[in-house]
Amino acid sequence: MRRHPTARVRAAVGALVLLSLTLLAGCSASDSSRPAASTPASSAPQTTAPPLPTPTSTLRTGTASDPLRYVALGDSYSAGMGGGDEHGACVRSPNAYPKLLAQSNTITLARFAACSGATTDDVLADQLDALDPQVDLVTITIGGNDLSVSALPSACARGETPTCRAAVTTSVNLLNSLPHKLAKTYKAIAQAAPHARILVADYPLFYDLPTITDKTIGSDQVSAAVAVDTAVASLDATIETAVQKQREAGTDIQFVDVSFGGHGVSSKHPWFVLKGLEAFHPTEAGYQRYAKTIAAFMH
């Protein structure tokens, strides 16, 4: 199983979270109270996460004659919104990462229950019936709609505006209630599919941020991009912590850190849809990255 250096990454992001929230506290680009650029992110206190126990994997090796029984849960990032050829009320795509994973002859997608717009409450109410004790593998992306994260890029598209500040504030305020919701969701999945490995994917950052310098720190566009990315990073860190707690309790659950580095919204070759109802969801290439990253946790 591949492990990601997420603890180190999240520690570095922590300083940017504080920076972005300060930038969005109502300061204008010319305000002398704007934080000085000379304070590096690395100055934030560094913490070392305790080593996690290694649970005994319940994931057997699938074969062509006896493939893994797989169920996909979650929101639009699981359903494949933005991947093309979407259909149905849940806006599912044949290019969604669950469909890509199931192209292997060692995996059978028994139920594709993910639905665009789903929250943790929706998973508990509408998707758990897809699970049973014979399920070998479960994947899920969930939490973004609980925080209204999908509204951030469009709200902040014109820079550090009142609309942008309000959207970021809403997401940050909702973050406090998410750990309990995630814990309840993960526990329910583990109870409904007690012999399955649960793979919890996070959300890629929307922007490839420039280096924070005296020249860039005063930019409303950069300030807004930092705020959006750090809101998403805070969501991801919350998801990772919730997963770790379930692992420590003995559940075979893994956090999957997905990166679109170099392919953000403002890149030359973005892996996000930029227009329409599917805006700020992964493209087909983005879902291919999801599938490749998740597949590494199936061994």
Catalytic residue (one of 78, 150, 234, 281): 281
The separation between the first and the last C-alpha atoms of the chain, rounded to the nearest angstrom, is 6
Binning the chain into helix, strand and coil, the percentages to the nearest 5 are 40, 10, 50
76 is catalytic: yes
- Evaluate whether 289 touches 271 at the Cβ level (below 8 Å): yes
Angle between helices 162-175 and 6-23 (to 10 degrees): 140
DSSP state of 103: T
DSSP characters for 108-167? EEEEE---TT--HHHIIIIIGGG--TT--EEEEE-STTTTTGGGHHHHTTTSS-HHHHHH
How far is Cα 204 from Cα 141, in angstroms, rounded to an integer?
11
Catalytic residue (one of 32, 33, 76, 195): 76
- Evaluate whether 102 touches 108 at the Cβ level (below 8 Å): yes
Is the CA virtual torsion 92, 239, 127, 129 positive or negative?
positive
Catalytic residues: 76, 281
